[in-house]
Amino acid sequence: MYNLIKMNLYRMSKAVSTKVIAIVWIFLTLFNFGVMKIVVDDPFNIMSEADKATLATSSVASDLIQSLFVSSNFLIILSVFVVLFANAEHKCGFDKNLIGITNHKWKHALARWISAVIGMTVLMVVSSLIYLGTCALFLNAFELGSLATLAKVCGIVYMGMVTFSAIFFFFTTLFKSSAGGLVPSLIISLGILFMIEKLLDFLFNKVFGSTDYVPSDFLFDSKFLNFDMDAGRNAIIFLGVLCLVYTVLTVGGSMLLQQRRDVK
């Protein structure tokens, strides 16, 4: 398993797609900073008091991290990264050189996902440092805030992104193509699924009457994208369990598919 992860990280470091995605994401991170600078500091004096009241955005570190990652922008970048990385081996036929080496084909899927998570982690850490660093240096209104809150938000965001990566990885393994992986991943990233889920909630309430229970409470993307970072311990634990269940199911499903399917 160690060798498999090492091999995957090597190929990730050499892949053109990794470099392009990293550059695009760093650019978007700096773009986010630019928008924050204009909205929060208003350096060109272009906003009226009414605009400022409407656009008022928190410049506390924990809120900045949340706004950077819990967004369509990062989810799209993440989905493209995971899908391309997960499918690259199969797309060029390199898997035929490797899969037969071990009888435990599922290890290849697990190692690929772990490597994708490592790549995502590096991307998140680097972009967080760049974002917080530029904000601390150039955003007048920047506040570090509570370190405990920052750590909590970072933990929740990271947990959510690990789960998203597992879901994107599963779709890619299931459809064995970049397009097959990207379509459902983008449906999730762009919030289209979220809207469908809200419609389901509405229909559910129409059919069963108003209840405390709504289906989207158990749907990961809906729960995570609407999560209140100030929520209490129980809500965080519930989200953690949901993340764990979705991650185990999707990664386990990917491993099972890899083990049972022939390499074509």
Provide the binding-site residues for another protein, judged by CB under 8 A: 3-4, 6-7, 10-11, 14-16, 88, 92-104, 262-263
Mention every residue, 6+ apart, whose C-beta is less than 8 A from residue 57: 36, 39, 40, 63, 67
Minimum CB distance to another protein smaller for 34 or for 100 = 100
How many whole angstroms separate alpha carbon 238 and alpha carbon 235?
5
Minimum CB distance to another protein smaller for 92 or for 137 = 92
- Kindly state the smallest distance separating residue 252's Cβ from another protein, in Å: 20
- Kindly state the smallest distance separating residue 113's Cβ from another protein, in Å: 16
Report yes or no: 191 and 72 within 8 Å, Cβ to Cβ.
Answer: yes
Minimum CB distance to another protein smaller for 20 or for 192 = 20
Minimum CB distance to another protein smaller for 228 or for 262 = 262
- Kindly state the smallest distance separating residue 105's Cβ from another protein, in Å: 8
Minimum CB distance to another protein smaller for 81 or for 142 = 81
**DSSP helix/strand/coil, 60:** strand
| 237-241 long-range contacts, CB within 8 A, separation 24+ | 239/156, 239/159, 239/160, 240/159
Strand partners, 143: 60
Question: In the numeric block, which tokens belong to residue 213?
Answer: 């229970």
Mention every residue, 6+ apart, whose C-beta is less than 8 A from residue 86: 112, 113, 116, 168, 169, 172, 173, 181
- Kindly state the smallest distance separating residue 92's Cβ from another protein, in Å: 6
CA angle 165, 158, 168 (to 5 degrees): 10
- Kindly state the smallest distance separating residue 125's Cβ from another protein, in Å: 24
